[in-house]
Structure 1
């Protein structure tokens, strides 16, 4: 099952089932659909998080754990969390050494101040209540801790926005039919990208969630954007 259209009021069960269906070939499909540029974006996120051994990182919407592996390989204590059991099972099959955890971003199963950093890549737009999630991220991070969000955004290069919408986004479902285990899900994912707010709007939403020092950096002309923020309290290191 996959949602028939994108909405900011999503049905969590349907979204979870959609990701369950695509779990086995999800990483391969992303690589094909982005021409491999998703790896560059994920490396940029790792640099932005700037986690050191001894720090604890919560990686929300970690899926199969691809985004968590760089931290674990550097000796950082990372917890990959996702609400899709299919994604978690596939991740555990590949990396049984990682502590994959079933978690709803709007009601995290962690104590207050449990992490130094919370990060989420290409998952916030699929959360049923973004504001509740931002509040939960702030609850589970220590005072002065960091938040790093990477998400699809609005191209800022003149002419790119129209080209991106007319060519790239329209082509995604067709390409997905050749490589994905559930190509219809990419119709939903394409619409969710179109429905998502731009850089400035998301930054304001993060501020309204109680975060400080909110800023962003565009990737690939704004097709994706990394937002940084700091939790109130003793200032933490800037990413």
Structure 2
């Protein structure tokens, strides 16, 4: 991208490329405020406000996710924003496993944002719900950021999913749930979800982050 376009992006969103996804519809690579970002039709997926939400979550987690002995599970890779935050902003040396159902999203993370798998980063093209049911691994930190545009899969709010993440989380481990409230239906849904989470975890909430994001942080203490 030219330097001129980069500076213009501080005034207006500058479109660069469009991808078509079966799961997420149109995915846009744009420039905003001098940064390349990933957007869907209706929301930012990576490197915009979403990145600020995830950064808030990581700052609020008490579980140590910086050590080489730590294992992190990311459910919903997006453009890999949280991977870069862990490595660059928080200097984490943890082993990271990222599970993403959309192969186009994985392609974007690799080609557009230089998220490269290595000995400390494994990217798995799979359904997060199925992955949790069959994995034998245990994790110190789990980040649940599962969206199709502005829709969160229903299974995320079900007791079965809560039990699944509980079972693969180490004692004293934490989970960051990134959710969205844009209607009264979502408000009721999230209230029930938090009540259910409290049966298994200690819970901390950050509602109305950068608009409609509702961040929920849990810790496994029993």
Which TM-score applies when normalising by structure 1?
0.61
Secondary structure in 2 aligned to 1:62?
coil
Structure 2: how far apart are the matches of 1:39 and 1:204?
Answer: 26
Q: Deviations over 1:81-131 (max 9, x none)?
A: 111111112213321234211232222166345210111235395224222
- Aligned pairs for 1:108-147 (under 5 A) are 108=131, 111-112=135-136, 114-121=138-145, 123=147, 126-130=152-156, 131=158, 132-147=160-175
Q: CA RMSD in A?
A: 3.3
Indicate if the aligned counterparts of 1:107 and 1:136 stay in contact, CA closer than 8 A.
no
Distance 1:63 1:224 in 2: 16
Q: Report the alpha carbon displacement of residue 48 of structure 1 after superposing the two structures with TM.
A: 2.7
CA deviations 1:111-165 (Å, max 9, x no partner) are 34521011123539522422233222112211332111121126xxxxxxxxxxx
Structure 1 residue corresponding to 2:79, chosen from 45, 64, 85: 64
Q: Which runs of 5+ in 2 are unaligned?
A: 1-20, 31-36
**1:196 and 2:179 aligned:** no
**Superposition pairs for residues 216-231 of structure 1, below 5 Å?**
216-220=205-209, 223-231=212-220
Q: Identify, as 1 or 2, the structure richer in helix.
A: 1
Q: Separation in 1 of the partners of 2:51 and 2:79?
A: 14
Task: Give the number of equivalent residue pairs.
Answer: 177
Sort the Cα spacing of 1:213 and 1:70 in 2 relative to 1 into closer, same or farther, 3 A: same
Contact 1:217 1:225 in 2 (8 A): yes
1:28 pairs, out of 11, 14, 38, with 38
What residue is the counterpart of 2:67 in the other structure? Answer: 53
TM-score (norm 2): 0.65
Q: SS of 1:25's equivalent?
A: strand
Task: Mark the runs of 5 or more structure 1 residues left unpaired by the alignment.
Answer: 1-15, 155-192, 234-239
Of structures 1 and 2, the one scoring higher in RCO (CA 8 A, sep 6+) is: 1
User: How far has the Cα of 1:60 moved from its partner?
Assistant: 0.7
Which is richer in strand? 2
Note if contact 1:113-1:139 (Cα within 8 Å) is conserved in structure 2: no
* Distance in 2 of aligned mates of 1:151 and 1:229: 13
